[in-house]
Amino acid sequence: MQYTKSMIDQVFLIRKIVPAPARAHVKLTNPALLDLLVDLYREVEDLLLRDLIRQLMSMAGPAWITRLQTNYEMQESSKKEEHQPHQQVYRGHTIAAATPSIPSVTQTPAAVREKTVIYRGHTVALSH
């Protein structure tokens, strides 16, 4: 989506007011920014923040205004989240997150000698 100057200013105002846990995700580089703001609009009780989000959605177009007003979209997104596997987004790329496997109770002697260490986000087996 192309952001206009007034939309960019509105996002900066929203970023200043948004609660701390969500502040890291309210960025112009976030491809799902408007979807995130729709969810935030439903969760937050702050009237000023809700008004700023509503103004931004009115600048974005009529489709975004209807997404704020309807609960159908919220139900659809919750159904999709239940059926989709967990995904991570890193620098705009979607990566399927690997679920950690549970180690077996019985270990072989070779597995006992190896020590696993997490290095830069990956598990590495160290031999003694």
Give how many domains the chain has, as a whole number: 1
* Structure-token pair, residue 112: 């006992």
> Which of these, 83, 76, 74, 12, lies nearest to 39 by C-alpha position?
74
Would 97 be classed as within a structural domain?
no
Would 18 be classed as within a structural domain?
yes
Would 20 be classed as within a structural domain?
yes
Would 99 be classed as within a structural domain?
no
Would 63 be classed as within a structural domain?
yes
Residue 15 belongs to what domain range? 5-90
pLDDT per residue rounded down to tens, the chain (128 residues): 788 899 999 999 999 999 888 888 899 888 889 999 998 998 888 889 999 999 999 998 888 888 887 754 555 555 555 555 667 777 777 777 665 555 555 555 555 556 788 888 888 877 65
Would 27 be classed as within a structural domain?
yes
Whole-number pLDDT of residue 15 = 92
Would 119 be classed as within a structural domain?
no
Would 114 be classed as within a structural domain?
no
- Answer yes or no: pTM beyond 0.75: no
> Which of these, 97, 94, 73, 75, lies nearest to 85 by C-alpha position?
97
Whole-number pLDDT of residue 72 = 44
